[in-house]
Amino acid sequence: MPNLTADLYFEAHVTIDPVPQEGRSELERLAKEYNFKLAKLLMDKNVPSQLDTFLTGHSKSFIQICSDMQNLIKRLTNLGYKIRRYKIEDIVLDSRIEDVFDLLP
Protein backbone atom coordinates (compact mmCIF):
# COMPACT_ATOMS: atom_id res chain seq x y z
CA MET A 1 0.00 0.00 0.00
CA PRO A 2 1.49 3.36 -0.99
CA ASN A 3 1.67 6.34 1.34
CA LEU A 4 -1.78 7.80 1.91
CA THR A 5 -0.54 11.35 1.31
CA ALA A 6 1.81 12.29 -1.54
CA ASP A 7 4.79 14.57 -1.02
CA LEU A 8 3.85 16.33 -4.27
CA TYR A 9 0.72 14.68 -5.74
CA PHE A 10 -0.76 11.49 -7.13
CA GLU A 11 -1.71 11.44 -10.80
CA ALA A 12 -4.31 9.01 -12.12
CA HIS A 13 -4.93 8.10 -15.75
CA VAL A 14 -7.92 6.30 -17.23
CA THR A 15 -7.51 5.23 -20.86
CA ILE A 16 -10.61 4.48 -22.92
CA ASP A 17 -11.42 3.67 -26.53
CA PRO A 18 -11.25 6.70 -28.84
CA VAL A 19 -14.08 9.22 -28.48
CA PRO A 20 -15.15 11.14 -31.60
CA GLN A 21 -14.85 14.92 -31.54
CA GLU A 22 -18.61 15.39 -31.14
CA GLY A 23 -18.61 13.30 -27.93
CA ARG A 24 -15.69 15.03 -26.24
CA SER A 25 -17.59 17.91 -24.61
CA GLU A 26 -19.96 15.50 -22.83
CA LEU A 27 -16.99 13.37 -21.71
CA GLU A 28 -15.24 16.52 -20.49
CA ARG A 29 -18.26 17.47 -18.38
CA LEU A 30 -18.52 13.94 -16.98
CA ALA A 31 -14.81 13.79 -16.10
CA LYS A 32 -15.06 17.07 -14.21
CA GLU A 33 -17.69 15.54 -11.89
CA TYR A 34 -14.97 13.17 -10.65
CA ASN A 35 -12.11 15.71 -10.52
CA PHE A 36 -10.62 14.47 -13.80
CA LYS A 37 -9.81 16.28 -17.03
CA LEU A 38 -9.98 15.05 -20.59
CA ALA A 39 -6.50 15.07 -22.13
CA LYS A 40 -6.13 17.18 -25.25
CA LEU A 41 -3.43 15.27 -27.08
CA LEU A 42 -3.46 16.40 -30.67
CA MET A 43 -2.01 14.58 -33.63
CA ASP A 44 -1.15 16.08 -37.03
CA LYS A 45 -3.20 19.08 -38.12
CA ASN A 46 -4.66 19.59 -34.60
CA VAL A 47 -6.89 16.51 -34.85
CA PRO A 48 -7.41 14.52 -31.61
CA SER A 49 -5.72 11.13 -31.47
CA GLN A 50 -7.74 8.29 -32.97
CA LEU A 51 -5.72 5.70 -31.04
CA ASP A 52 -7.23 6.27 -27.60
CA THR A 53 -8.64 8.87 -25.23
CA PHE A 54 -7.49 9.42 -21.70
CA LEU A 55 -8.52 11.31 -18.61
CA THR A 56 -6.24 12.57 -15.86
CA GLY A 57 -6.83 13.40 -12.21
CA HIS A 58 -4.63 14.75 -9.41
CA SER A 59 -4.78 14.64 -5.63
CA LYS A 60 -2.45 14.67 -2.63
CA SER A 61 -4.68 11.98 -1.06
CA PHE A 62 -4.34 8.38 -2.26
CA ILE A 63 -7.75 7.52 -0.86
CA GLN A 64 -9.37 10.44 -2.70
CA ILE A 65 -7.73 9.71 -6.07
CA CYS A 66 -8.67 6.01 -5.76
CA SER A 67 -12.28 6.89 -4.97
CA ASP A 68 -12.55 9.45 -7.79
CA MET A 69 -10.97 7.06 -10.30
CA GLN A 70 -13.12 4.08 -9.32
CA ASN A 71 -16.32 6.13 -9.44
CA LEU A 72 -15.37 7.61 -12.82
CA ILE A 73 -14.61 4.17 -14.27
CA LYS A 74 -17.89 2.71 -12.98
CA ARG A 75 -19.84 5.62 -14.48
CA LEU A 76 -18.01 5.41 -17.81
CA THR A 77 -18.59 1.65 -17.97
CA ASN A 78 -22.30 2.09 -17.22
CA LEU A 79 -22.50 4.62 -20.08
CA GLY A 80 -20.90 2.16 -22.53
CA TYR A 81 -17.33 3.45 -22.68
CA LYS A 82 -14.67 0.74 -23.01
CA ILE A 83 -11.97 1.08 -20.35
CA ARG A 84 -8.54 0.01 -21.61
CA ARG A 85 -6.35 0.84 -18.65
CA TYR A 86 -6.12 2.76 -15.39
CA LYS A 87 -3.14 3.66 -13.23
CA ILE A 88 -2.07 5.90 -10.37
CA GLU A 89 1.41 7.40 -10.19
CA ASP A 90 3.10 9.04 -7.19
CA ILE A 91 4.84 12.10 -8.62
CA VAL A 92 8.21 12.58 -6.95
CA LEU A 93 9.57 15.36 -9.15
CA ASP A 94 7.81 18.03 -11.17
CA SER A 95 9.64 21.02 -12.61
CA ARG A 96 6.40 23.01 -12.55
CA ILE A 97 6.64 22.89 -8.77
CA GLU A 98 10.42 23.24 -8.46
CA ASP A 99 13.16 23.22 -11.11
CA VAL A 100 15.49 21.19 -8.88
CA PHE A 101 18.11 20.76 -11.63
CA ASP A 102 17.92 24.39 -12.76
CA LEU A 103 17.30 23.31 -16.36
CA LEU A 104 14.44 25.63 -17.32
CA PRO A 105 14.87 29.19 -18.58
Average pLDDT over residues 8-32: 94
The predicted-structure confidence for 38-89, as pLDDT tens digits, reads as follows 987 644 555 555 678 999 999 999 999 999 999 999 999 999 999 999 999 9
Q: What pTM was computed for the model?
A: 0.86
Complete domains list, the chain, with CATH: 5-91 (3.30.70.100)
pLDDT at 20: 85
Residue type, 18: P
